[in-house]
Structure 1
Amino acid sequence: MNKLVVIAGPTAVGKTQLGIDIALQCGGEIISGDSMLVYRGMDIGTAKPSLVERKGVPHHLIDIIEPGATFSAVDFQQAAEKLIFDIQTRGKTPIIVGGTGLYLKALLEGYTFVAAESNAAYRKEMEGVAEEKGSQYLYERLRCVDPAAAERIHPNNVRRMIRALEVAELGGETIPETQVLAADQLLRYDAVVVGITMERALLHQRINGRVDSMVEAGVLAEVEELLRRGIERDSQCMQGIGYKEFVAHLAGECSLPEAVENVKAHTRQFAKRQWTWFRKMPYLHWLEYQPKKGYASLLESFYQTFAGNYL
């Protein structure tokens, strides 16, 4: 079986640095498992690692599509499978780094996604329902026909709720994102899957600091440029946290301080949902970041646990 390393965990927990340092030690290459890093020109709001931060380590699935285009779990699954094979063929170690739980589970557990055809008329109807009755109405409807989908989709994400309803009500099936493996079942790859965790208060502090840094780095100008280029507000990329809130501010719906606080709150909520996803991965090995010991201790813990018989 193929060998690879997966570094998972909530946003702002330190996945990027750990993945790069492991890659430098073992001759690895990074495959991004983040749904927002695929977009070109969306750098600040996604906390995309700069070329300097990448330290010469090859990174894949970053800056591969234009804003406005769509990228799904199926796209990630197919692209990552090809990259893993290519990297291993060249004698390197693929290291998947990311916090998009569905992407990681789909790849590692070999999801087979439902290929339901899209129905424009149905989507238009549901958009009207959402506008008339509100997103919560759609959410309750989704809970009735596909409770598992409702659990993983945020009640405010109208686009994803409509897609899930479309599959469930028109296709007569559910999107198989609820597949669960027992702890002793084999994954599709011979993988070490590591999750980074830390005290909740510390993570919230890091999230707040990251958002403040994004504002200082010019994320508002980045959003303005995307809108100037004609990227629609309801496009997939603009639904990302750190973009939709500033779009709302630019539309006059809230002040800049309110937008910043909304980004922080939504990011903290997202981190909580990420933890929920990762708890469904029984094969994940948790490593805790302890502030008194610092990052070096985290890196040492990884090597003590896995390097002797893996890397």
Structure 2
Amino acid sequence: MSAELGTTGKPRLLVLVGPTAAGKTRISLDIAKAWNAEIISGDSMQVYRGMDIGTAKIRPEERQGVPHHLIDICEPDHPFSAAEFQRLCTGLIAEITARGKLPFIVGGTGLYVESVAYGYDFAEGGSDEAYRSELREYALRCGTEALHAKLREVDPATAERLHPNDQRRIIRALEIRHLTGVTLSEQLAGQKRVSPYELCIVGLNMERAKLYERINERVDAMIAEGLVDEVKRLLDAGVPADSVSMQGLGYKEIALCIRDRIPLAEAVELLKRNTRRFAKRQLSWFRRMEDIAWVEASENIHENLRSFHAIIAGKFGVDLEYITNQSF
């Protein structure tokens, strides 16, 4: 399928979301090939070079000829943000559409996906360096957990999605509240819900017990593949333990182990627990998005694909028979 303008006159945009470990990467390749799409990673961690195992990054040899974007684009000490993702992704969508291909965002970072799908306004609202310094000093005196608790008091929704060690984003959320009198979560809730695209968002869901089983298996596989060595290389290369990238799942837990604060077995169990909790938060985020058409994952990938194809064809007004003939 070519990516000409849809029936609304807007560029088409396909999005696949779902919780971590549900199988988005595998099925996205088949969808991309059937719909003549190029994949844009919608993952906040896969942008970092050298962070491969802990982010479950798809290897070049696994991409089956499907172009992938926004993977390995910055160094781990760079504080990549949702606003930066939106800017880069929006440009890529225009470029992919101009090539006659379908832009296809695949990922589980809810804010990143929504910011592009609905054209969020990331107006910064100014800054107050004195207030930032005050908060940094407070974190030094009382610890990052206390700083996180301060955010939880005024903006529990934002505090829920930020790790207590993510000092930069916690301070920024508090600064926004300080400067505007409006919390970051309130600003996001007030964003417009009209997409600049002819938008099709599909979600891959999985029964909770099975998802948690897959998460546990994925963590064990990451350890076997060398996650500990990957984290050690990053720390030895000088990537700060409190950097944005090192707050990602797998990195903060294994860093605790490397710095001899907890045994490896404890770090692994902590990672499994944190990943399960993260998947729960992802589902909570996506389920409040009214535009998602969900598919329940089954062991039969062809059955899953048929469901996805039917949803996409219906949204884009394309002959389903043509697509399924190309896919099977």
TM-score for the superposition, normalised by structure 1:
0.92
User: Post-superposition shift, 1:295?
Assistant: 2.0
Equivalence for 1:177: 188
Deviations 1:46-87 (A, max 9, x none): 000011221111000000001101111111111111111110
Q: Secondary structure at the match of 2:50?
A: coil
Q: SS at the partner of 2:91?
A: helix
CA deviation map 1:89-138 (0-9, x unaligned): 11001110000000111111221113134444433322332344454543
CA distance in 2, matches of 1:48, 1:58: 14
Matching of residue 285 in structure 1 with residue 293 in structure 2: yes
Tell me the residue number matched to 1:74. 83
2:55 to 46, 49, 59: 46
**How far is 1:272 from its partner?**
0.6
Residue identity matched to 1:256? L
Aligned residue in 1 for 2:210:
202
Contact 1:148–1:178, Cα closer than 8 Å, also in 2: no
Question: Which has the higher mean CA deviation after the structures are superposed, 111-120 or 93-102?
Answer: 111-120
Q: 164-173 or 57-66, which moves further after superposition?
A: 164-173
Q: Deviations over 1:9-65 (max 9, x none)?
A: 110111111211111112110001000000011101100001122111100000000
Q: Secondary structure at the match of 2:188?
A: coil
Q: Match of 2:88, as an amino acid?
A: A
CA contact (8 A) 1:106 1:177 kept: no
Report percent identity of matched pairs. 49
| 1:115 and 2:121 aligned | no
- Quickly say closer, same or farther: Cα 1:210–1:284, change in 2 above 3 A: same
Q: Shift in Å at residue 171 of structure 1?
A: 4.3
SS at match of 1:177: helix
> Please, which of 276, 296, 302 is the counterpart of residue 308 of structure 2?
302
Q: What's 1:88 paired with?
A: 97
1:57 alignment partner in structure 2: 66
Secondary structure in 1 aligned to 2:189? coil
Choose which of 222, 225, 233 in structure 2 pairs with 1:214: 222
CA gap 1:223/1:156 in 2 versus in 1, 3 angstroms: closer
Q: What residue number does 1:231 align with?
A: 239
Superposed, 1:153-164 pairs within 5 Å as 153-155=162-164, 157-164=166-173
Q: 1 CA distance for matches of 2:161 and 2:274?
A: 15
Where 1:201 maps in the other structure, the secondary structure is helix
Once the two structures are superposed, what CA deviation does each residue of 1:250-286 show, in whole Å capped at 9, x if it has no partner?
A: 1110001111111111111100110111012100010
Bigger mean CA deviation after superposition, 169-178 or 158-167 = 169-178
Partners of 2:32 and 2:104 within 8 A in 1: yes
| Cross-structure match for 1:125 | 134
Aligned pair count reads 306
- Per-residue deviation at 1:147? 4.4
Distance 1:120 1:243 in 2: 29
Alignment check: 8 A CA contact 1:7 1:194 kept: yes
Question: Are 2:163 and 2:247, in contact at CA under 8 Å, matched by a contact in 1?
Answer: no
Q: Is the 8 A contact 1:289 1:298 kept in 2?
A: yes
Contact 1:111 1:179 in 2 (8 A): no
1:10 aligns with 2:19: yes
Please state whether the residue corresponding to 2:38 is helix, strand or coil: strand
Give the deviation of 1:158 after TM superposition. 3.5
SS in 2 for 1:7: strand
Establish whether residue 253 from structure 1 lines up as the match of residue 264 from structure 2: no
* Aligned 1:132-171 pairs, distance under 5 A: 132-155=141-164, 157-171=166-180
Cα-Cα RMSD: 1.9
Structure 2 gaps of 5+ residues are: 1-9, 324-328
